[in-house]
Every structure is written in structure tokens, then in C-alpha cells.
Chain A
Amino acid sequence: MDSNTVMTGIESAMTQIVSELSERFGDNVFTLQQTADGIPTLWVSREKIRGIIAFLKKEARPNYALLFDLTAMDERLRTHRQGLPDSDFTVVYHLLSFGRNQDIRLKVALSEATLSLPSIFDIWPAANWYEREVWDMFGIVFEGHPNLRRIIMPPTWVGHPLCKNHPARATEMEPFSLSDERQTIEQEALRFVPEEWGMQRQSEGSDFLFLNLGPNHPSVHGAFRIALQLDGEEIIDAVPDIGYHHRGAEKMGERQSWHTFIPYTDRVDYLGGSMNNLPYVLAVEKLAGIKVPERTEVIRVMIAEFYRLASHLLFYGTFAQDVGQMSPIFYMFIDREKVFDLLESISGARMHSSYFRIGGVALDLPDGWDRRVREFIDYLPSRLDQYDKMVMKNTVIKQRTQGIGSYTTAEAIDWSATGAGLRATGFAWDYRKARPYSGYENYEFEIPSGNRGDCYDRCAVRVEEMRQSIRIIKQCLENMPEGPYKADHPLTTPPPKARTLHDIETLIQHFLDVSWGPVIPAGEASVTIEATKGLNAYYLTSDGGTMSYRTRIRTPSFPHLQMIPLMSRGMMIADLIAILASIDFVMADVDR
């Protein structure tokens, strides 16, 4: 069964926005596509795309305020395209409406000969980096973009990696060698030239200092570079430069079986562990039509919340450390260690447990898990209270972080900020409440929010989120259902083995599903979750094979880093460090 033809729920909402658009732009402008995730998906021509996007953002009531994702797909080798317009490369816009609590996906078909379409950076500032990424990865030109240069690959790179004809493995390429000459060229290419970014070297009163902060700097949390234009210690402008941690996770998704890609997801937001598995396995399950048992859902929620705690504890400690407070991180590492001990006793691994499976989890909970979980949730709250005294109520911390790096809710949405960065502005919007997944509708918890949108509030929101996570874990503990921990479905991994020794067909099928991996029905599905750092989504396209045709990973940190210039202009270097700490990013989550 081709899941392109599966019509899942929310039909009325779908027809509503489609009829609104038809009213405005005419009936024959759109081609409707049905996807496994039920998100209204419309194909539009590239002449119309800007107008439609501007309409959705500005005129539609309620509007689509957030540019959730902007990506593309090389469709040249895709075989299951029944009913879809001809396209070599498709650009995909994924918009989110808070008012409707609805998404919409717009697709533009492009032919190889004319790989260009108009830029929308003036409609959404956040589109700037996304369009650069699409150009970098696919070679699609966005007309009118102010600075369409490589963002993730090095400036000297030849080719566009996510094109299907670009090699994916080192063995498909010439052996790598770095001659002195080549090294000089590569190093020279990294030199920051202010003029390329429209910066002045001096003003009337002073010569500016250009400071290269990173890629190796104690406070950039990974390999990340920011070129700073300074007047004394005051930041005039900043240019974030990413890509140093790029490992081609999306390309790997096209070369790994559906099952063997799971461990790669752990390493995207490497502080989030199995939290990363969740959107991926949920998306595969949507494509495969698997419904997981209740026990699986509760286990997943509990593990995900533990990873949220682990990630937030690390954030909390490094935040204090980056404003110069040395000790809290050590206390918080002790707590984090306890989380990892617990996760280890459940899954066998600590940071990257890859515990979730398609259709379930890897193992059932071990005997005595409840005692350890109870011990931990009894232990942590008093520690959090101590940290409040130590960090959040500290006068110097307040002086250093209140009113620093603040932005409004409108700015946050325009720049695609999600997670604590959005909630700190006073907009209490949490994906777990707005669109519950994996059974989050069954839990009682609050959505903490701030009101100033500054560094302090971003931290305060996360601190409170930890308390809410403890609440959720407690509810998991008290209401853990009995039953199987894996769905009884042929496409779960590892596949069910019970009947394999009874007949040869089942044995063969089991052998194939284990060795090649399951064949997931053709179709498209995107699943979003409230991850540790904001909204994380996996947008999977299956062409009916054992591997994904296209794996798009929408990570929260990518747009967050794009906001750094906005947040840091007029601040001092020390403020920038506080701002970086308060964003809570990891570079693998940015570069993938």
C-alpha cells in the first residue's frame, strides 16, 4: 500500500486552508499531495511562491507566523511519485501557525535546467541561513538573497553534497591528500574579510578590531566561529560561521537502513541522547503505519524527560561557568551522572543509548527500575532549590544576565526561535501541550515562561522545566502500564521472531528484515517534538526501500545561532559569552 494515498485525519483543517488559498489565488494554482503525516501539502509554481508565502504570513487569519523549515530534495532518482508534478529538485517550505495549531507544507518543483527561485529572506529573516543551506547542499539559487554563499561546507568545496550524484562515501572518491599548496588555499579561504559582509573597517572616530572568536574557543560549546567587529570591547556586529561540526547526518540517512540510522540520531543533539530517536522513530512509524503499545509510549516519555534533565543540567552548569562561576557545574555533573547511571541501568548506555526502536524500545524496563527512578526524583528537587540560591539568586549573575541578549516574542518567531528561547519572551507555547505526541496529553505539567526574553529568563525557564520534567517522570513511574514494550507489527525492528521456526516464509522474511532491514512503504512524513533545545523534526521520504530516500533533520539550534548578531549588537564581549551560554546549543545540532 502506497502511503501517499493514505488519508489521515485533520481533513477539515486541510480543506479549510486550501479553500482559503484557492479563494485568493485561484483553483488551478495548486496540486495537492497526501502525506502520511496529514500536513496539508501543496505544490505551487515558483512564480507564485513568494505571493503565497507572504499571504500566509501576513494576511491569512490566523496567520502562519513561523518558518519552521526550508529544505529541498533531489527527486531525480525517486520512483514512487504518482500524481506529483514533474520535478528534478523540489524546494519545501514548512510553515507553522500558532493560531490554527496547524502546519502547512509548500513545495516548488524545479527542473535541472532552471534551478532558481525567489528568496523570501525579506519575509522571514530566518530564511537567510536556510536558503544558504539549500544552495550549499543542492545548488539551488535564491534570487535576491543578500549573501548566497556556502554555510555548512567549506568555501572551497566543489559540488553540492545532497544531490544524488554526489558521492556519499570516501571509497567513492579519490583518496584524500592535503598538499602544502592546498593547505594554504584552504587556510586562506577561512580568512574573514569584513567587506564580504558589508562591514566597515573604521568609523569616523575609531578603527574597528576584528576578533576571530573560535572555531576553538572555551565558550563556543564546540567548533563554532564568530567573527566580531569590535569598537574597544563593544560589539558592533557579529558574523556566526558554522559548519565545522558537519558530519553529513542527512546524507548518511540515505545510506543507512531505517533501523541502523537510529544511533546516528543520538549524536545530532548529542546532549539529548534518545530524545533524538523519538521524532525519527515516530516518523518511521507514521510511514509504516505502526501503532505502538501504551507501555512503549510511557517508557519513551520517561526516557525522553530524563534526557531533558541531563541536557538542562549541563546547560545550567555551563551557563554559570560561562559568566565566571566555577563551582555549580561540578554539582550539576554529579546529578547528571546519576541520570546517566539510571539510564545505563535501563538501556545499557549513558549518553547515546539509541534505546528507541521502530515500533518500540530496545529492551523492557529491568527489575527494580522503579526504585531507582523514585530515589532520583526524591533527590533532585532539593538540589535544584540549592542551585536556585547559588545561581539564580546570585546578584552578580543577575547583573550579568538580566537585560542582556533580549528579544521580543515577535522577533523570536520571525527568526524561528523555539523552545526555551521562545518561552522566555513570555509566549508559553510548548509542542508537548499544543500537539501532544507519544501520549503527552495524559500528563499534567505546566509550561514555564519568562517575560523579558533575556539570558536570565532563558535560564530560569529551563530551571523550571526541570521541575516539570520531574513531575512528568513521577507520573510515568506511578502509571506505568503493563504489556508489551514493542508493537506486534512486521516492520518493527528487530522484527518479531515468535513464528519464525514454524514456517519457512516467515523465517525468510525475518532473515531479510534483520539483514537488509524493513522495507518502509513509500511516502512522506514529518514528526516534530519538543526536544531539549527547541523543536526538532525529522522529515522522512521513503521511496519504498530499505533506506530513506531523503532524511531532513530540522534542528532547533540552527536558527538560534542565526540570531546571535541580533542579540549581541551593542553588547560587550563578556555579554556575548553569556548570550552564547543562554542559547544552549551544541554544534552537532546545528551542523548535523
Chain B
Amino acid sequence: MMKAGIGSAADIIGILISAIFVAAMLIWVERRLLAVWQDRLGPNRVGPFGLLQVVADMIKMFFKEDWIPPFADKPVFVLAPTIVFITMLTGFAVIPFAPGVGIIDFNFGLLYFLALTSLSVYSVVLAGYASNNKYSLLGGLRAAAQTVSYEVFMGISIMGVVMLAGTFNLREIVEAQRDGWFIIPQFVGFIVFLVAVIAESRRAPFDLPEAEQELIGGFHTEYSGMKFGMFFVGEYLGVTLSSAMIVTLFFGGWLGPWLPPLVWFCLKTAVCIMFFILLRGSLPRLRYDQLMAYGWKVMLPVALLNLLVTGAVALTLHG
């Protein structure tokens, strides 16, 4: 049974623009939240509560000289930041925001998400390669290794959910949680998936590819202006997308009493995003080899075990 419902043009434009808007506002949210947790003020000068800081940042980035280092591989250098931006943005196509709100309702939504997050690493690897800078190259290498290792168990970790729901369709996965969110039966899967998406979004404590203190910014060392801005917004799009996915898979998506479904979805996603930011504010960075060892020696076996147990339980109960 193949079904693919597509939202109206207004839906599509509305959702994509809100996604970009949210990602841009996250720049302000992150800076303010970190500031609060670090006993500082953060940006509070531009507009009420500093809300227009994002606008100021945007203006600055747009008007900055669009400079490409003479030693860079020009076409690839320009292309790289657009990849992360586009893949992350198109990822929103499958997110079931609420009944009737969404771009596409599509049976292999989950696989589509996995495919897009894997594609986004090209952005970082190519940026690292095209910059022709040793720090960028090291960043790109780290990103490649990290993504390859972590996406292995990212896929495996959510197979438990798929087994319980019996579908790859994200809307049906949400519907399957009417009797209880999957975070309860799939707690282990949730933890593994959480670690994997943070690693995939290359944020602290897994920000090794840019590791400011080590690689001066890693893959985006040579980037400035709007091209840097695209990496920046791409990262926040990634955070938003991952949070929306976590909510869909483990926290019952739009489900919830009293409030309208869309509000529930947005609230849950917001909490999840804040958790991402809190992690960045509290944890130190792992070392490259520790990160690899942690991925292969801890997370992968745990994910496999979770899959095995879930399968066995599902078979016993329903088989």
C-alpha cells in the first residue's frame, strides 16, 4: 500500500519558511539561554529582549564581503554550505506537525529522514576538502569518521520503534502512540537515538569537526559572510529537525490533551531543542578516538541488544 499525500502550496511554503524562521531565531534563543545558565545577560540590546539580534546578524552577514580564499577549490567551496542547508530543510517535508499539517505523508518517511541526515555530512566533508586548509581538512576527516560511525546505530536504534508501530510512516508512528509514548518501551532506543542525532548535528559534546579550541572552527574556518551563515542556519535547522524527529518517534508527536495538536508538537519540540542547548552548556568535548570507541564499543552493541529484545518481546506478545 503506497500512499503519498501532498500538502497545498501554502502549506509547503508556510512550513519551510517557519522552519527557517525558527532556525534563525534559535541563534538568539541559544545565546540567551546559555547566557542565563552562565550567569550572563546575552544579547539584549537590539529590539525587545534582544529579539532583533538575529536581524542584525543577518544584515551583517549579507553585507559582508563574499570572499573566497584564492587557494580554495571554488565550485565545491560554494556548493558545500548549500548542501547542509538544503538537506536539512527538505527533511522537514516528512515531519507530521499535526493531523492535516505537513508537506508530504509518505510511507517511507523515516528512511527519507535517515537518508537526508547522511547526505548532510557531504557538506562538511566537502567544505573541509575545498577550503584547502589543514585545519579544515582535519575537521572534514573527523566529520566523515564521526558520521559513518554514528549513523550506523542511529538507524538501528529506531528500528525498535518501527517494530512496535509496524510502519515507516511517521504519521502512523504517531498514531501508534495513542496508548503510550514509545519513550517508555523504547527508552534504550531513545537514548541511543538521542546521542546519535546530537553527533549527526555535530554539536557539543560531539562538535569535533569544528572544535574551536583545537581546529579553530574546523571545516568552516575559511568561511565567512552568508556562506558561513548557511552552515550556521543549517546547524540550527538540523537541531530543529532532530528535535521534531525525537518528538515524533518517542514523545507521541502532536498527541496530548486540552491543547490543539500543533501546539503540543511545537511545545515538545521546543523543550527538546532547549535540552540540546543545555547539553552544549554543560558537557566537555570527547577526544576523537574516545568518540569512536564510545560509538562502536558502547552505542552499537546497546542498539543491537535493544533491537533483539524488542523483537523478542514483540514476537512473544503478538506472534
Contact = CB atoms under 8 A, between A and B. Distances in A.
Interface string A547-575: 00000000000000000000000001111
Contact of B205 (A218, A219, A320, A324): A324
A330 B284 contact: no
Contacts of A575: 287
A574 B286 CA distance: 9
Contacts of A326: 34, 38, 204, 280-281
A456 to B, nearest CB: 12
B285 A327 contact: no
B287 A399 contact: yes
B299 interface: no
A17 interface: no
Contacts of B138: 211, 233, 573
B187 interface: no
Interface in B29-60: 34, 37-40
Contact of B287 (A212, A325, A400): A400
Interface string A329-371: 0110010000000000000000000000000000000000000
Contacts of A574: 211, 214, 285, 287-288
Contacts of B40: 330
B212 interface: yes
B210 to A, nearest CB: 11
B37 A327 contact: yes
A392 to B, nearest CB: 12
B244 to A, nearest CB: 25
B317 interface: no
B38 A324 contact: no
A331 B289 contact: no
Interface string A288-324: 0000000000000000000000000000000011111
Interface in A144-167: none
B213 interface: yes
B270 to A, nearest CB: 21
Given A331-B38, A396-B283, A324 B288 contact: no
A453 to B, nearest CB: 20
A329 to B, nearest CB: 9
B284 A323 contact: yes
A397 interface: yes
Contacts of B204: 324, 326
B316 interface: no
Interface string B131-166: 000110010000000000000000000000000000
A521 B178 CA distance: 91
B216 interface: yes
Contact of B281 (A218, A322, A327, A573): A327
B207 interface: yes
Nearest to A212: B134
A236 to B, nearest CB: 15
A394 interface: yes
Interface in B65-104: none
Interface in B10-32: none
Nearest to B137: A209
B118 interface: no
A86 B135 CA distance: 55
A322 B287 contact: no
Nearest to A324: B285
Contacts of B37: 327
A219 B38 contact: no
Contact of A396 (B38, B39, B286): B286
B282 interface: yes
A81 interface: no
Given A331-B38, A399-B287, A574-B287, A324 B213 contact: yes
Contacts of B287: 399-400, 572, 574-575
Contacts of B284: 320, 323-325, 394, 396-397, 400
A58 interface: no
B213 A330 contact: no
Interface string B275-319: 000001111111111100000000000000000000000000000
Given A233-B138, A331-B38, A219 B283 contact: no
A330 B37 CA distance: 10
A325 B281 CA distance: 7
B205 A396 contact: yes
Contacts of A394: 284
A577 interface: yes
Given A399-B287, A572-B289, A577-B214, A330 B38 contact: yes
A210 B308 CA distance: 47
Instruction: Name the residue among B38, B39, B287 with the largest chain A CB count within 10 angstroms.
Output: B287
Contacts of A331: 38-39
A217 interface: yes
Nearest to A580: B213
A272 to B, nearest CB: 24
A577 B282 CA distance: 19
B314 to A, nearest CB: 34
A209 B136 CA distance: 13
Interface string A443-482: 0000000000000000000000000000000000000000
Given A325-B284, A326-B204, A331-B39, A219 B213 contact: yes
Contact of A399 (B211, B280, B281, B290): B290
Instruction: Name the residue among A320, A325, A326 with the largest chain B CB count within 10 angstroms.
Output: A326
A573 B286 CA distance: 12
Contact of B216 (A209, A217, A322, A334): A217
Contacts of B34: 326-327
Interface string A219-240: 1000000000000010000000
A327 B38 contact: yes
Instruction: Name the residue among A320, A324, A396 with the largest chain B CB count within 10 angstroms.
Output: A324
Contacts of A397: 284
A572 B214 CA distance: 10
Interface in A359-402: 394, 396-397, 399-400
A399 B290 CA distance: 8
B41 to A, nearest CB: 11
Contact of B213 (A209, A218, A334, A399): A218
Contact of A327 (B216, B282, B290): B282
Given A397-B284, A400-B285, 15 more contacts: A219-B214, A233-B138, A320-B284, A326-B34, A327-B37, A327-B281, A331-B38, A396-B283, A396-B285, A399-B286, A399-B287, A399-B290, A400-B287, A400-B290, A572-B289
* 8 closest residue pairs by CB, A with B: A324-B285, A325-B284, A330-B38, A324-B284, A396-B284, A574-B287, A219-B213, A323-B284
Interface of A: 209, 211-212, 217-219, 233, 320-327, 330-331, 334, 394, 396-397, 399-400, 572-575, 577
30 contacts: A211-B135, A211-B138, A212-B134, A217-B216, A218-B216, A219-B213, A219-B214, A233-B288, A323-B213, A323-B284, A324-B204, A324-B285, A325-B284, A325-B285, A326-B34, A326-B281, A327-B38, A330-B40, A394-B284, A396-B284, A396-B285, A396-B286, A397-B284, A399-B286, A400-B284, A573-B138, A574-B214, A574-B287, A574-B288, A577-B214
